[in-house]
Structure 1
Amino acid sequence: MAERVEALFRALKERIVVIDGAMGTMLQSYGLGEAAFRGERFADHPWELRGNNDILSLTQPELVAEVHRKYLEAGADIIETNTFSATSIAQADFGTEGLVHEINFEGARIAREVADAFEPIRFVAGAIGPTNQTATLSPDVNRPAFRKVTFDALVAAYREAVDGLVAGGVDLLLVETIFDTLNAKAAIYAIERYFAETGRRLPVILSGTISDASGRTLSGQTTEAFYNSIRHARPLAVGLNCALGAAQLRPYIAELARISETYVSVYPNAGLPNAFGGYDQTPEEMADLIGEFAREGFVNLVGGCCGTTEAHIRAIAEAVRGLPPRKIPQIDRKLRLSGLEPLNIGKDTLFVNVGERTNVTGSARFRKLIKGGDYEIALEVARQQVENGAQIIDVNMDEGMLDAEAAMT
Structure 2
Amino acid sequence: MGLKDVLGTKLLIADGAMGTMLYQYGIDRSQEELNLSHPEAILAIHQAYIEAGADIIQTNTYGANYLKLARYGLEEQVQRINAAAVAIARQAAEGSETYVIGTIGGIRGAIDAKINEPSMTDIVRGFKEQLYSLLLAQVDGLLLETYYDLEELKTVLAIAREATDLPIMTNVTLHEVGYLQNGQSLASALGELADLGADVVGINCHLGPHFVAKSFQSVPILDKVVLSAFPNASFPALEDGKIVYENAADYFKGFGELFRQEGIGVIGGCCGTTPEHIAAYRKGLKDIQLINNKNVIPLAEVALKRNSQRQHPRLIDKLQKNYTVIVELAPPRTLDTTSFFKGAERLKEVGVDAITLSDNSLASARVSNLALAAILKYEYDLQPLVHLTTRDHNLIGLNSQIMGLHKLGIHDVLAVTGDPAKVGDFPGASSVYDINSFELIKLFKKFNEGMSYTGKNMGEKADFQVGSALNLNIPRLERAGRLLKKKQQAGADFFITQPIFDGDKVETLKEVMKASEISIPVFIGVIPLVSSRNAEFLHNEVPGIVLTDETRRRMKEAEIRGNEAEVGIEIAKELIDRICREFTGIYLMTPFMKYELTAELTAYVKEKNKQQQQAQ
- TM-score where L is the length of structure 2: 0.46
The aligned amino acid for 1:123 is Y
2:5 to 9, 29, 32: 9
Task: Say which of 214, 220, 231 aligns to 1:268.
Answer: 231
Number of paired residues? 305
The answer to whether the Cα contact below 8 Å between 2:102 and 2:134 also exists between their aligned partners in 1 is yes
1:398 match: none
- 1:182 corresponds in structure 2 to 151
1:308 matched to 2:273: yes
1:165 aligns to 2:165 (yes or no): no
> Residues 153 and 10 of structure 1: is their aligned pair in 2 closer, same or farther, counting only changes over 3 Å?
same
Could you say what secondary structure the match of 1:126 adopts?
A: strand
The answer (yes or no) to whether the contact 2:170–2:200 under 8 Å persists in 1 is yes
* SS of 2:20 mapped into structure 1: helix
Contact 2:213 2:262 in 1 (8 A): no
Gaps of 5+ in 2: 297-448, 451-483, 494-616
Paired residue secondary structure (1:224): helix
Structure 1: gaps (5+ residues)? 34-48, 141-146, 196-200, 332-339, 342-371, 382-409
- Matched residue, 2:52: 74
Letter in 2 for 1:4: G
Note if 1:206 corresponds to 2:170. Answer: yes
Q: Percent identity?
A: 27
Shift of 1:10: 3.1
Q: Cα RMSD between the aligned structures?
A: 3.0
Aligned 1:223-372 pairs, distance under 5 A:
223-258=186-221, 262-276=225-239, 277-294=243-260, 296-320=261-285, 322-327=287-292
Question: What residue number does 1:127 align with?
Answer: 103
1:88 to 1:11, Cα distance in 2 relative to 1, 3 A? closer
Q: Deviations over 1:30-65 (max 9, x none)?
A: x225xxxxxxxxxxxxxxx84311000011111101
Deviation at 1:253, TM superposition (A): 1.7
C-alpha displacement of 1:231: 2.6
SS of aligned partner of 1:85: coil
> Which one scores higher on RCO, CA 8 angstroms, separation ≥ 6?
1
SS of 2:125's equivalent in the other structure is helix
Q: Does the 8 A contact of 1:58 with 1:106 survive in 2?
A: yes
Shift of 1:135: 10
Aligned match of 2:613: none
1:83 counterpart = 2:61: yes
SS at match of 1:84: coil
Which residue does the alignment assign to 1:41? Answer: none
The Cα shift of 1:9 comes to 2.3
Counterpart secondary structure, 2:217: helix
Deviates more, 1:102-111 or 1:223-232: 223-232
Shift of residue 285, structure 1, vs aligned partner? 0.9
Shift of 1:243: 0.2
* Distance in 1 (alpha carbons) for counterparts of 2:293 and 2:196: 17
Name the CA shift for 1:123/1:378 in 2 (closer, same or farther; >3 Å): closer
- Is the aligned partner of 1:93 residue 2:93? no
**Does the CA-based 8 Å contact 2:201-2:226 persist in structure 1?**
yes
Partner SS for 1:274: strand
* Helix, strand or coil at the partner of 2:289: coil
How many angstroms apart in 1 are the aligned matches of 2:93 and 2:266? 18
Question: Matches of 2:290 and 2:265 in 1, distance apart?
Answer: 5
Partner residue of 1:109 out of 67, 87, 94: 87
Q: Deviations over 1:84-137 (max 9, x none)?
A: 10111111111111111111111111111211232xx11011111012x45972
State the partner residue of 1:32: 25
AA aligned to 2:72 is F
In the other structure, the counterpart of 2:17 is 22
Q: 1:250 to 1:190 in 2, by over 3 A?
A: same
With normalisation by structure 1, the TM-score equals 0.67
Question: In the aligned structure 2, how far is the partner of 1:260 from the partner of 1:271?
Answer: 31
CA pair 92-377 structure 1, distance change in 2 beyond 3 A: closer
Aligned position for 1:155: 124
Structure 1 residues 328 and 93: CA distance shift in structure 2, 3 A: farther
Please give the alpha-carbon distance, in whole angstroms, between the structure 2 residues aligned to 1:52 and 1:115: 24
The 3 A distance-change label for structure 1 pair 375 and 272 is closer
